[in-house]
Structures are given as C-alpha cells and as structure tokens.
Structure 1
Amino acid sequence: MLVVDGISKTFGRTRAVDGISVSIPRGQFVGVIGRSGAGKSTLLRMINRLAEPTEGRITWDGQDVTALQGPALRDWRRRCAMIFQQFNLAGRLDVLTNVLTGRLAHTPGWRAMLRVWSREDRAIAVAALDHLDIAALAPERAENLSGGQQQRVAICRALLQEPEIILADEPVASLDPRNARIVMDALQRINRHHGLTVLCNLHALDLARLYCDRLIGMAGGRLVFDDVPAALTDAAARELYGIEAGDVLDTEAAETAGPAVPQAAAA
C-alpha cells in the first residue's frame, strides 16, 4: 500500500502541495485530477523522489520512501516507474533499444554503455511491445512514430523496469482523442494484467471517469475530492476546475454526444 501522510511542497512563498494525506491499495488505478497548477505533477514527483517534500512522509508497504538515499533510492525509482507527457525517448534509436533502456537497473554498467543486451532482456522487451500491440515497430526509429505510438513505447520501457507502481504524469495531454484512448487502454491493460498500481494525472474528465477505479481531486495544492468516478458530480467538477470547469464539462458533453448530424442527412 502507498501511504502519503501530510505531504507538502513549498517553492519560495508558493505552497504547491499542501498537507495531502491519502492511502492507495496495491493494484488500484487512481486518476489525479484538477486544473493546471493544482499540484498534481508535484505530488507524483515527490512520490518518485524527483522532488523532495518540504513536510510529511511517504511509505510503500511500510518502507519510508522519504528517507531513502543512494542505492536504496535508485532501487525505489526502478520500482516506481515514471511516464511523462513528452515521452523522453531517444529519437534516433530504434524502438527496441529505447525499450531496453528500461533494463539499465538490471544490467551491468559496461553492457549498458555498449548496448550489449542479453537474449533474455531482448525477449522481455519484445514481449512487452507485443503486449501493447506494437511489436512490429521494434526496428523503427522512435522519431518516426506517432505520438500515441511513442507513448506506448515509453510505457513498455517502464514495464521493463519491473515496477510495482507506475506514475503517469499527463500521459495523454499532447495526444489527439483517438491516441489518448489507445494509451489509456494500454495503461488499463497493464494495471489489470500485471496488477500494478497506477497513478495517472489527467485533465480530461471523460477519460478519468472511464478508466479509473478512484479519483483524487486537487485544487490549490489541497485534496478536495477522493471517491469513485460516479461520485464526481458537475458541482464537484466546478469546485476542482474553477473557471475552467465550463470548458471541461462542455468538451466532455460534446465527446459523449458525438458529431452533430445535419437535418438533411437525418431526413
């Protein structure tokens, strides 16, 4: 279980995260929602220790994550994989090599530098690509892929770390609706198939309601909502998104309704 206990993060006079406390059982798919600047990314970065908490404590199965240093911290970052909005792939390298970099923590340094991967590592990488239906792209250069394909490669790379938890920081923010659904399908598949805990920052309420088991809503760095997606009423969404709520709810309604049908065609 992941336990976030009174976590805060201050940048100068700005309190980006303010006293968040939440417990997340293993295997849950949790959406972290809220407007831009609500503190969602900072929260995930503190869990991974890419950002240091100003106050509070984070534990995973009783281990104090906030106290880890050196090799123990590197091992935690392997077990707690991050997926970013901008993919962070090496564009000139092929897909298979990009995925294999997820094995760095399991590979001797000299082999990693020379890209001498074992047959077992290559088999694991191909299996991960096949699991997300992109095995045929293994020899392609990453820079030639679509955004949705690149994000699935990034997910495969995270899987090769053999993580226990995946933190996805706005993984579909730069994608069109079709590719956003494909990427969310991939995250849901590994959550269900591998039993991995997934925390996913999302701005789109339709995706959050469709894919997540639980939603955690943040506003002004504080926790203001924690419940199942069905409990997220329009009133709760307005509290979360403030002046952006109209755009979020209008977009969701339009996507649910689908494209309008001209009267002439309907007749």
Structure 2
Amino acid sequence: MLRLDGVVKQFGAKRAVDGISLGVPSGQFVGVIGQSGSGKSTLLRMINRLGDPTGGVIRFGDVDVTALKGRALRQWRARCAMIFQQFNLAGRLDVLTNVLMGRAFHAPAWRAVLKLWTDEEKAMGLSALESLDIARLAGQRADTLSGGQQQRVAIARALIQEPEIILADEPIASLDPRNTQVVMDALQHINRHFGITVICNLHSLDLARKYCDRLVGLAAGRLVFDGAPAALTDHVARDLYGLESADVIGPASAPGFVPGAQPGLALAGS
C-alpha cells in the first residue's frame, strides 16, 4: 500500500500541498480532481520524488520513500512510473528506442547510454507497443506521431519499467476526444490486466467517474473529498470546483449557489 502521512509542500509562504494523509491499496485506479492550482501535480511529483516534501512522510509498504537517495531513489522511480502531460519523448529517436529508455534502470549504465538493448528487451518493448496497438510505429520518429500516439508511446515506456504504480499527470489534457478515450482505455487496461495501481490527475469529472474506482478531491492543497465516484454528486463537485465548475460539469442550476463555498463536501475521514 502507498501511504501519505501529513504530507506538506511549501513554496515560500504558500502551501501547495497542506497536510495530506491518504492510503492507496495496490491495484486501485484513483482519480485526483480539483481546480487548477489545487496541488494535484505537486502531489504526484512528490510521490515520484521529482519534488521533495517540506513535511510529512510517504511510504510504500515498509519503504520510507521520503528518505530515499541515490540508487534507492532511482529504483523507486522505476517502481513508480510517471506519465506527463507533454509526453517527454525524444522526438528525433524512433518509437521503440523511446520505449526502451524505460529499461534504463534495469540495464548497466554504459549500455543504456549507448542504447545497446538486448533482444529480450526489444521484445518487451514491442510487446508493450502491441498491447497499445501501435507496434506498427516502432521504427517511426516520435516527433512524427499524433499527440494520442505519443502519449501511448509514453505509456508503453512506463509499462516496461515493470512498475507497481503509474502516476499520470493530466495525461489527456492536450488530446482530442477520440485520443482521450484511447489513452484512458489504455490506462484502465493496464490497471485491470496487470493489477498496476494507477493514480491519475484529471480535470474532466465525466472521465473521472467513468474510469476511476475512487476519487480524491483537492482544494487549496487540502484533501476535501475521498470516496467512490457515485458519491461525488454535482452539488459536491460545484463546491469543490467553485468558479471552474461550469467547465467540468456545466453551469450550476441551483439558485443561490456561491462558487467556492465549502458546505456539502464529503470530508476525508468523515
């Protein structure tokens, strides 16, 4: 289980993440929702240790993630793969080579730098691409692909890390509706078929409700909702999203609605 205990991230006087405590059992598909600037990306980056917490502890099983350094930290990042909004591919390299970079931790450093992959590793990369229906693109330069194809390459790269957790930071933010569905279907398949825990930042409540087992809502860096998708009513969502609610669920229909009001939220731990 992944467990966060009182995790804080402070930038000057601002707390981007403010005392979040959360447990995520293995195999869950968790959607992290909330307004822009609510702390969603900061939270995922701390779990991956791309950013260090100001306070609190992150644990995975008996491992204190917040204390890791050197090789142990690199090993954690292999176990806890990250998928980014902007894909983070090497555009001039072919698709298969981009995917195989996910094996960098598992190979000797000199071999990873020289990109001297074994036949077994190449087979793993092709298998990952095949599972995402893009094996035919293995020899194509990454910068010639569509956004949806590039994101699937990034997912394949994460998959061959053989991770126990995949963190996806707004993975469909720049995609059209068709590619959005393809990418979300791919993440759901990985979660259900391989049993890999997926924690995914999402802006669309429709997608969050459709794909996730559990939703975690943040507001001003604090955990204010934690429950099943069915428990996130439109009324609660309007409270959570405030002025952005019209973008994610349509305009408020109830008279007297005050954007940003807090009553009605299902408080975490209540």
Match of 2:235 in 1: 235
C-alpha separation between the residues in 2 aligned to 1:104 and 1:76? 13
Match of 2:221 in 1: 221
1:180 aligns with 2:183: no
C-alpha separation between the residues in 2 aligned to 1:31 and 1:150? 22
1:105 aligns with 2:123: no
The Cα shift of 1:62 comes to 2.0
Q: Structure 1 length normalisation: TM-score?
A: 0.93
Amino acid at match of 1:179: N
Q: SS in structure 1 opposite 2:236?
A: helix
Q: SS in structure 1 opposite 2:250?
A: helix
Structure 1 residues 101-134: Cα deviation after superposition (integer angstroms, max 9, x where no partner): 0010011122112211100000000000001111
Q: Which runs of 4+ in 1 moved over 2 A?
A: none
C-alpha separation between the residues in 1 aligned to 2:213 and 2:13? 35
Amino acid at match of 1:53: P
Structure 1 residues 5-37: Cα deviation after superposition (integer angstroms, max 9, x where no partner): 000110001100001011010000000000100
Map 1:1-267 → 2, pairs under 5 A: 1-250=1-250
Larger deviation, residues 66-75 vs 82-91: 66-75
Structure 1 residues 210-247: Cα deviation after superposition (integer angstroms, max 9, x where no partner): 00000000000000100000111011111211111022
Q: Structure 2 length normalisation: TM-score?
A: 0.92
C-alpha separation between the residues in 2 aligned to 1:88 and 1:226? 30
C-alpha separation between the residues in 1 aligned to 2:41 and 2:220? 13
Amino acid at match of 2:228: V
C-alpha separation between the residues in 2 aligned to 1:118 and 1:185? 30
Match of 2:266 in 1: none
Structure 1 residues 24-58: Cα deviation after superposition (integer angstroms, max 9, x where no partner): 10000000000100000000011011111111101
C-alpha separation between the residues in 1 aligned to 2:6 and 2:179? 36
C-alpha separation between the residues in 2 aligned to 1:247 and 1:68? 39
C-alpha separation between the residues in 2 aligned to 1:58 and 1:110? 32
C-alpha separation between the residues in 2 aligned to 1:39 and 1:113? 34
Structure 1 residues 181-203: Cα deviation after superposition (integer angstroms, max 9, x where no partner): 11000000000111000000000
C-alpha separation between the residues in 2 aligned to 1:37 and 1:199? 18
Q: SS in structure 1 opposite 2:168?
A: strand
C-alpha separation between the residues in 2 aligned to 1:218 and 1:239? 11
Amino acid at match of 2:46: M
Structure 1 residues 137-186: Cα deviation after superposition (integer angstroms, max 9, x where no partner): 10111111110000000000011111110000000001011111110000
The Cα shift of 1:136 comes to 0.6
C-alpha separation between the residues in 2 aligned to 1:56 and 1:174? 33
Match of 1:265 in 2: none
Q: Percent identity?
A: 70
Q: SS in structure 2 opposite 1:51?
A: coil
Over aligned residues, Cα RMSD in angstroms?
0.9
Question: Any unmatched runs of 5+ in structure 2?
Answer: 252-270
Amino acid at match of 1:74: R
Structure 1 residues 42-91: Cα deviation after superposition (integer angstroms, max 9, x where no partner): 00011011111111101001211111111111110110000000000011
Question: Any unmatched runs of 5+ in structure 1?
Answer: 252-267
The Cα shift of 1:207 comes to 0.6
